[in-house]
Amino acid sequence: MHPDQPATALRTERERTLDGDTALPVGTRSAFRDDILTSWRRCQMVGMAPSSEDVPYRPEFERPNRLLRAAGPVIDRLAEQMGSGPASILLADSEAQIIDRRAGIRALEEALDRAMVAPGFHYAEEYTGTNGIGSALEARKPFVVSGSEHYRENLQEFTCIGSPLRHPISGVVEGVLDVTSRVSDTQELMKPLVLAAVREIESRMYADASRREQMLLERFLRAGRRSSSTAVLSLNEDVVMATTAASALLDMSDQASLWEWACRMLGTGDECVGDVALSGGVVVDARATRIGDRDGTAGVLVEMRPAARSARGSAPAGGHRVRRARRAAARSDVLPGRSVAAGRLRDEVEVVVDDERPLLLCGEPGTGKLFVATHLHRKRRHQDPLTVLDARTSPDDPGAWFDRLVSGIDGGGTVVVRHLDQLAPEMAGRVEALLETPARTGARIVATVRTRDGDSPAGRTLDHFPVSITVPPLRYRGEDIADLAPRLIGAHTARRPAPRLLPSTLRTLSGLDWPGNVRELGAVLATAVTRSLGSDIAHEHLPAEYRDSSNRSGPASLQRAERDILLEALAETHGNKLAAAERLGIARSTLYRKMRILGIDENRLPTFRPR
């Protein structure tokens, strides 16, 4: 934007440009830079109105520890140097959510509050238009937005100068540093100040990463020297070190699976042992050890040996016999997954295959309850008809819906009633009577619900299902993504061989929370398959909001797992710290310290509800 341009002329050209009139007199340049015009077009493409003032807000959010470790001291020093000056320092994560603000003078602080430029608010371009945070992320470079260059009218009193913060080793954008002031207080030194601070923060990231990698390397070399026959892996979210034995044992998906397994098993401890199912059905005896110091966790050391054969068989000379797990990655007749939760689900399904009583499948939306019901049908009645009804449609025409249910039962085979807990109340009695009468055709009835709880007439229908299985949510079985992905990808491409997930992509997906469960994963992979054009799926093929698990899911996986375990113990003991500490096998002082480090507010603990 040209500083000499009169304000009225700028407003006129801005309005004309936003209205779609880009024609200028011959020899005349636009008053707005190409970067600004490109950003405006992006805003228009998503349907944003310049007059809009809505900003997405998440009051409770996990702070990305790696970014804050590097940026915190730099921001502290800048804030002290600037004092109560006319500029504000903002730090945002890689999703453009503001996570820290140092506001300067009171008048600027009040103006920022009115514009909702504060921690917890999202300033991605798609939500808030052209601005120093979101536009810097979109352009992947330092970005200046001043006055009428802002797409939104309510931000035009500010000048924002933002620059991405890139991890110096991985190259991943960790966040944005931004300095904001009133337009009248803008100074030429603001941009050099931001760039100098960014260089210092990135230097601190490098030093932090180097320190963590040095700890990983030292433990890796020490473990490798102890035994050449043991497969050793030293890893964290960014780095993997493997011995020759480990490289021969593992494939692309196993690194992410081992990381997820170690995070889940370690919890609040420093060491764990257990069986781990790898790709191809190989099961290993694994020992995971936390690596770090009092400043934090650097990663995990995993030592593996092929699991010994059970007592009935003998191991071959010179080594252990490899045990094969019941796996689903390559077999369509087995439920996929290598996690403990997936194994338990397979065992429970096997038990009820020959049980003819009505079966209830419980679980969150999108976990795959219908998939499990269909799997059960194929295991026993694949030649008989499969009838699927949705109880959510029963209020539309109760009589016709009930007739279809009766017809399905009379036809034999398997009848699946989805969302039975949403059955029309006037239908509850008739369905209960039907369930109390044994089907002459031998049909099996399977219903899906979110939970068995409920006092409504529809909820009481669930009492007529003596057998139930809970399908676990995907966030508890992140390592299963390695086995789920090939099936989900195969459903969206005719190309053979189908694209695979690169290890870094799988590691990212395994660290996400997946509130939509397997259904959400399937939608993400469908998009990635289209973008990959047949090649293996890399980070850039994922939707933007799924490319960084560290900020989407909060802290690093180890800390997230530890936080989940502490919260569960506190919830189950109804907030009793002593009982929770005893349950976890730690001192009460340790519990308090961990709660403080992990940001657990004892006044806002979750309520435990047994499954």
What pLDDT, on a 0 to 100 scale, did the predictor assign at position 555?
Answer: 38
Residues 282 and 149 in one domain: no
What pLDDT, on a 0 to 100 scale, did the predictor assign at position 523?
Answer: 92
Which helix (H) or strand (E) segment holds residue 281: the answer is none
Q: Is residue 46 part of a domain?
A: no
Q: Is residue 114 part of a domain?
A: yes
Residues 345 and 445 in one domain: yes
The span from the CA of 141 to the CA of 143, in Å, is: 6
Packed helices 588-597 and 577-584: angle between N→C axes, nearest 10 degrees: 100
Tokens of 112: 């920022």
Q: Is residue 19 part of a domain?
A: no
Contact 416, 373 (CB under 8 A): yes
Residues 432 and 494 in one domain: no
Report the percentage of the chain scoring pLDDT > 90: 24
Q: Please state, as a whole number, how many other Cβ atoms lie within 10 Å of the Cβ of residue 293.
A: 10
CATH number at residue 431: 3.40.50.300
Residues 345 and 265 in one domain: no
Q: Domain tally for the chain?
A: 5
What pLDDT, on a 0 to 100 scale, did the predictor assign at position 4?
Answer: 47
Residues 384 and 305 in one domain: no
Burial of 46 from C-beta contacts in 10 A (0-12 / 13-18 / 19+): exposed
CATH number at residue 143: 3.30.450.40
The span from the CA of 473 to the CA of 449, in Å, is: 14
Q: Is residue 53 part of a domain?
A: no
> In terms of residues, how long is the chain?
611
Please enumerate in sequence order all residues whose Cβ is within 8 A of that of 317, keeping only pairs 6 or more positions apart, or say none: none
Report the percentage of the chain scoring pLDDT > 70: 84
Residues 180 and 240 in one domain: no
The identity of residue 74, as a single letter, is V
Residues 69 and 203 in one domain: yes
Residues 148 and 168 in one domain: yes
Task: List the alpha helices (DSSP H) in 227-330.
Answer: 244-249, 254-266
The span from the CA of 319 to the CA of 423, in Å, is: 58
Q: Global pTM?
A: 0.50
Contact 557, 237 (CB under 8 A): yes
Q: Kindly list the distances between the CA atom of residue 525 and the CA atoms of 251, 256, 310, 413, 499, in Å, as whole numbers in the listed order.
A: 20, 17, 39, 33, 10
Helix (H, G, I), strand (E, B) or coil at 269: coil
Residues 187 and 130 in one domain: yes
Q: Is residue 514 part of a domain?
A: yes
Q: Is residue 329 part of a domain?
A: no
CATH number at residue 272: 3.30.450
Number of H helices and E strands in the chain, helices first, is: 21, 16
Half-sphere exposure of 461 (CA within 13 A, CB side): 30
Q: Which residues form the domain of 501? A: 477-552
What pLDDT, on a 0 to 100 scale, did the predictor assign at position 551?
Answer: 40
The model's pLDDT over 185-198, given as tens digits with 9 standing for 90+, comes to 888 878 899 999 99
Helix (H, G, I), strand (E, B) or coil at 450: coil
Tokens of 577: 């710290």
Residues 488 and 466 in one domain: no
The span from the CA of 232 to the CA of 547, in Å, is: 28
Task: List the alpha helices (DSSP H) in 106-227.
Answer: 106-114, 125-128, 134-139, 190-226
Tokens of 132: 């120093």
Contact 219, 232 (CB under 8 A): no
Q: Which candidate, 248, 251, 446, 423, places its Cα nearest to that of 338?
A: 251
What pLDDT, on a 0 to 100 scale, did the predictor assign at position 560?
Answer: 62
Structural domain ending residue among the three candidates 416, 450, 474? 474
The model's pLDDT over 70-100, given as tens digits with 9 standing for 90+, comes to 999 999 999 888 877 889 999 999 889 999 9
Q: Is residue 381 part of a domain?
A: yes
What is the distance in angstroms between the CA of the first residue and the CA of the last residue of the chain?
Answer: 60
Structural domain ending residue among the three candidates 267, 299, 324? 324
Residues 503 and 539 in one domain: yes
Residues 196 and 96 in one domain: yes
Structural domain ending residue among the three candidates 272, 295, 324? 324
Packed helices 369-381 and 340-352: angle between N→C axes, nearest 10 degrees: 40
CATH number at residue 504: 1.10.8.60
What pLDDT, on a 0 to 100 scale, did the predictor assign at position 604?
Answer: 55
The identity of residue 474, as a single letter, is L
The span from the CA of 404 to the CA of 424, in Å, is: 15
Residues of the chain with pLDDT below 50 are 2-4, 309-330, 551-556, 607-611
Q: Kindly list the distances between the CA atom of residue 313 and the CA atoms of 316, 321, 447, 544, in Å, as whole numbers in the listed order.
A: 9, 9, 42, 50
Q: Is residue 35 part of a domain?
A: no
